[in-house]
Amino acid sequence: MIDPSLILSLLNKQQEHLKVLLLLLQTELAAIAERDVEKLDQGCLQKVQQLELIQQVDMQISEIPQIAELKTQSWFIDAVKQLDALLEQCKEQNEINRQSVEQSQLIVERFKHEILQNRGKAGLTYTAKGKPAVEHMGKGIKA
């Protein structure tokens, strides 16, 4: 039989990784709001590292020979429920971040469209994909 303290340490390690991931996702939302590309890039690298650590611990847990037996233990079930709740928070935060990025992109597109309209109403046209563009009239005169 495997030592329960070893499994608990793996589960605790997983919980810490998920807490760090959640914190990174919350920090990412602030960077999105501030439009801080450097923070977003750094946060992205840190998120990838955390996800790799989470995956490694998952692999270690899945390789335990008595995992099927452990899944019936109440202490193990409770620990996994806590991890699932944390993972759900991460998913929710990630969805909030995704929506924030989409909203930011829409605002930028709308702003771009307004600038293009004001820049040259007579030359405003649309690309094949339906994006607004200014048609530059005249190619210049060569003599």
Write out the two tokens for 113: 């469209």
pLDDT in tens, 67-91: 888 888 899 999 999 999 999 999 9
Please compute the mean of the pLDDT values over residues 94-121 and round it to a whole number: 81
CA-closest candidate to residue 26, choices 102, 94, 87: 94
Average pLDDT, the chain: 86
pLDDT at 77: 93
The rounded distance, in Å, linking the Cα atoms of 11 and 64 is 12
Write out the two tokens for 64: 């335990």
Does residue 7 contact residue 64 with C-beta atoms inside 8 Å?
Answer: yes
pLDDT at 132: 66
Structure confidence at residue 136 as a pLDDT band (50, 70, 90): low
Of 9-18, 45-54, 104-113, the one with minimum mean pLDDT is: 104-113
> Quick one: three-class SS letters along the chain?
CCCHHHHHHHHHHHHHHHHHHHHHHHHHHHHHHHCCHHHHHHHHHHHHHHHHHHHHHHHHHHCCCCHHHHCCCHHHHHHHHHHHHHHHHHHHHHHHHHHHHHHHHHHHHHHHHHHHHHHCHHHEEECCCCCEEECCCCCCCCC
CA angle 10, 16, 22 (to 5 degrees): 140
